[in-house]
Amino acid sequence: MAVLAETRRVTKRFGTFRAVDAVDLAVASGEVVGLLGSNGAGKTTLIRLVLGLLRPSGGDVRLFGALPSMSTRRRVGYVPQTLGLYDDMTVLENWSFTSAAFGSERPVLPESIRDSKDELVGNLPLGLQRRVAFAVAFSHEPELLVLDEPTSGVGPLSRARLWQDIRESTEHGTGVLVTTHNMEEAEQCDRLVVMVDGRVAAGGTVADVIGSRTVVQVTCDDWRKAFAVLDEEGLIVQVESGALRVPGSPGQLGEILARHKIAATVATVPANLEEAFVSVVRNGIHR
């Protein structure tokens, strides 16, 4: 598969702060790469470097084999977190404006937004606004799609439909780079890149990122008491389906619970993606 976007040890400094620090990233034709990271980890800065909206302080960025420029921008569709639509223009006007800017006169509005073509974008519900932003970004048939938190605040069915659009475009060879805080969404990506403090801290498939990480599952009659005791120890305890899930060793947790005379079953279970992600971020960078 052809590599569409590539960074080699790309770095972006703002003053002395390294927002992006020697990051290698590649997005190939037909794949969905999920970019994960806490707020402030450098995801949006990396996206802006890839798009050519920022110049790197060091390292290389290649878009379709060349430096990012106006002519590469034409081949990229970008949906920023803020959607990038004009609230005081109608759906049709937004669509026509972007089509004209990209020099791709396409008079046919996609069916998904045709019903609301004369509505002001600012008056539409958020889910529909996102569909419009997607349609506008797809309008010039981009080879690379860059989506910054595309489904924040969107309901389950609307989210499934946006992903349907994403996958339809990859089947035609488009490559997709998408950031998300939603782990169900991250699980649908072909590959993940996890950033911590401007660096790549983990990557690969979902299984690669989870690796051999485990959490301890605590099951007992009185979850409230067990929660209070473990929480008091400073552990980040999560309640899930009536059981407690805690990072740590079963021996250590068993000892704490025994000390407080709480009868509980303690077992090591594989971490889920969210727990693995939290662990990667908390433990910083392992290379």
Partner 1 sequence: MTWGLELARVRFGTRTALDGVSLVAAPATVSVVIGGDGAGKSTLLRALVGLVGLSSGASRRPPKSEIGYIPATAGLYVDLTVEENLAFSGGAYGVTGREFAHRSDELLERIGLAGARDRLGGQLSGGMQRKLAVAMSLLHRPALLVLDEPTTGVDPVSRSELWRLISGAAAAGAAVVATTTYVSEAYRASTVTLLDQGRPIATGAPSEIVEAVPGKMGVVRSAAQPRGLSWRWGTTWRLWSPSGVLPEGVEPVQPDFEDAVIIACLADERAV
Q: Is 148 in the site for partner 1 (CB under 8 A)?
A: no
Query: Contact at 8 Å (CB) between 119 and 91?
Result: yes
Query: Contact at 8 Å (CB) between 139 and 79?
Result: no
Stretch that binds partner 1, among 89-97, 140-148, 237-245, 249-257 (CB under 8 A): 237-245
Q: Is 239 in the site for partner 1 (CB under 8 A)?
A: yes
Q: Is 240 in the site for partner 1 (CB under 8 A)?
A: yes
Q: How do beta strands 17-28 and 3-14 pair?
A: antiparallel
CB atoms within 10 A of CB 78: 21
Q: Is 224 in the site for partner 1 (CB under 8 A)?
A: yes
Give the binding-site size for partner 1 (rule: CB under 8 A).
45
Closest separation between CB of residue 281 and partner 1, Å?
A: 5
Binding mask 168-197 for partner 1 (x = CB under 8 A): ---x---------xxxx--xx-x-------
Closest separation between CB of residue 155 and partner 1, Å?
A: 2
CA 83 to chain centre: 15
Q: Which residue's CB is nearer to partner 1, number 67 or number 160?
A: 160
Among positions 263-282, residues that touch partner 1 (CB under 8 A) are 274, 277-278, 281-282
Q: Which residue's CB is nearer to partner 1, number 9 or number 282?
A: 282
Q: Is 112 in the site for partner 1 (CB under 8 A)?
A: no
Tokens matching residue 110: 């996609």
Among positions 23-42, residues that touch partner 1 (CB under 8 A) are 37-40
Q: Which distant-in-sequence residues (6+ apart) come within 8 Å of 97 by Cβ?
A: 86, 89
Helix extents (H) in 74-219 = 91-101, 111-114, 126-138, 156-171, 183-186, 206-210
Tokens matching residue 181: 């805080």
Torsion angle defined by CA atoms of residues 104, 108, 112 and 117, in that order, rounded to the nearest 10 degrees: 100
Q: How do beta strands 191-196 and 199-204 pair?
A: antiparallel
Residue from 236, 258, 263, 267 in contact with partner 1 (CB under 8 A): 236
Residue 75 backbone phi and psi in degrees, to 5? -95, 5
Say how far apart CA 170 and CA 4 lie, in whole Å: 12
Q: Which residue's CB is nearer to partner 1, number 10 or number 281?
A: 281
Q: Which residue's CB is nearer to partner 1, number 58 or number 125?
A: 125
Q: Which residue's CB is nearer to partner 1, number 107 or number 156?
A: 156
Closest separation between CB of residue 177 and partner 1, Å?
A: 17
Which amino acid does the sequence have at 242? G
Q: Is 111 in the site for partner 1 (CB under 8 A)?
A: no
Give the Å distances, CA to CA, from 225 to 63, 267, 269.
55, 18, 22
Stretch that binds partner 1, among 5-13, 86-94, 113-121, 239-247 (CB under 8 A): 239-247
Closest separation between CB of residue 5 and partner 1, Å?
A: 21
Say how far apart CA 224 and CA 239 lie, in whole Å: 10
Short-list 255, 110, 79, CA closest to 179: 79
Note the residues at the interface with partner 1 (CB under 8 A). 37-40, 125-127, 149, 152-158, 160-161, 163-164, 167, 171, 181-184, 187-188, 190, 223-224, 227-228, 231, 236-242, 274, 277-278, 281-282
